[in-house]
Structure 1
Amino acid sequence: MAQHIGQDGRRPANDGPKAAARNRAALIAAAREVFAEHGLEAPLSAIARRAGVGQGVLYRHFPDRSTAVAAVLEENVRQIEQAADDQDATFDTVLGVLTWHLAQSAAFIGLLHTDRTGNRPGIRAHALALSERVERALRTHLPHNHRLNTQDNLALSIAMVSAAATGPTHEEREHRALAAWQLLGVEVGPVQAFGTRATDP
């Protein structure tokens, strides 16, 4: 069902318990976009506006910046884990999903460089745990003879590629990430969100 956009650019939020999950999903999607465009210090009010909800709804779901960042990071990691759990998954395809998230989300890049979380110990501890989950998901499909299959090569390579994935647009970030993987001699599957099916040309 289509939602009407108000003069202030917001979609009116429905009250009631059934709207809670929808509002939360909209806020996470909006937070991912806003953080990608403006970094982790973007104003929370911009997230509420992008999601089409009021400030009160935002703070009911995310009382502070740390909880909003954590929700975005959790969704990124959850999708990578889902990709790894897919019966048809290979290391290359899971790496493609990871690369998609690197190109789409500045917050996710921050996760892979936990020192960037600065003086936010709550975010830092959560980011470290999520970063370890990303590495575990990738290792489930890492061939024994792969060049990254040593104790530190996988984590170091991810950190190097994520550091290279910079730029004002997701297209530029994707291009730079893929170039970095190529320099490392690592093949990457289709760069796409989990669940996206490549179409025939």
Structure 2
Amino acid sequence: MTSSARANRGPKAAASNHAALIRAAREIFAENGFDAPLSSIARAAGVGQGVLYRHFPTRESLALAVFEENIVEVEVLAADPSSTVHDVLAVIVDQLTRSAAFIAMFNPTGTDDPRLLEVSTRLIDLVARKLDDPGQRGSIRADLTAFDVVLAVGMLAGIMSKTDAQSKQMVATRAWDLLERGLTR
């Protein structure tokens, strides 16, 4: 065996390969967006593409694994009755700023994968539940619906998808400030 060849570690490596693929995908998606080459994710994880496809047969299944914890973070915050819609949106905006790929999870277009659509629906539903409770609505204007609020965040996501890495934080901060002014009383 040459020094560049990888030893086959067999089934014992499945859990560590799975974790390595999720870590690598998080980094690659964050840097290059949802359309990053899957081969670069496999390479960064130190596995072959066959291993990647055994664990994640589609791009969407890999993205779902990567962003499940992001979504859980938002859901945990939303479940806290002392949090407001503003708190939830701030976390979503932070996630959009950190990862271009999260934009695809927030607003899945060009896919009919029901799992991606379900994740998007989960995010929209939790915003709607927060808006329905006057105590959790915070300073969001009473005339705005969940659709309006999600549309505003979607506009921010669109801007973030076109912003270079060096400017992301500054653009996100300014865009969120402008949107927040339009959403609040």
SS of the residue 2:167 aligns to: helix
1:20 alignment partner, one of 8, 14, 20: 14
2:103 to 103, 109, 114: 109
1:67 Cα offset (Å): 2.0
1:40–1:106 CA contact under 8 A, matched in 2: yes
Q: Shift of the alpha carbon at 1:88?
A: 5.7
Contact 2:85 2:130 in 1 (8 A): yes
Q: 2:66 aligns to what?
A: 72
SS of the equivalent of 2:141 reads coil
Contact 1:99 1:174 in 2 (8 A): no
Check if 1:180 corresponds to 2:171. no
- Structure 1 residue 56 and structure 2 residue 50: aligned? yes
Structure 1 segments of 4+ aligned residues over 6 angstroms from their partners? none
In the alignment, structure 1 segments of 5+ residues that lack a partner are 1-6, 188-201
Distance 1:173 1:13, change over 3 A: farther
Query: Percent identity between the aligned chains?
Result: 40
Which residue in the other structure is 1:129 paired with? 118
1:39 maps to 33
Provide the alpha-carbon RMSD of the alignment: 3.1
Give how far 1:133 is off: 0.9
CA–CA separation in structure 2 for the residues paired with 1:25 and 1:78? 18
Normalised by the length of structure 2, the TM-score is 0.73
Paired with 2:174 and 2:68, the residues of 1 have a C-alpha distance of: 27
Structure 1 residue 20: Cα displacement? 3.4
Larger Rg: 2
Q: 2:153 pairs with 130, 149, 158, which one? A: 158
Q: Which residue does 2:134 correspond to in 1?
A: none
Instruction: Read off the aligned partner of 1:40 and give its amino acid letter.
Output: F
TM-score between the two structures when normalised by the length of structure 1: 0.68
- Relative distance call for 1:186 and 1:129 in structure 2 (3 A) is farther
CA drift at 1:34:
1.3
CA change 1:174–1:133 in 2 (3 A) is farther
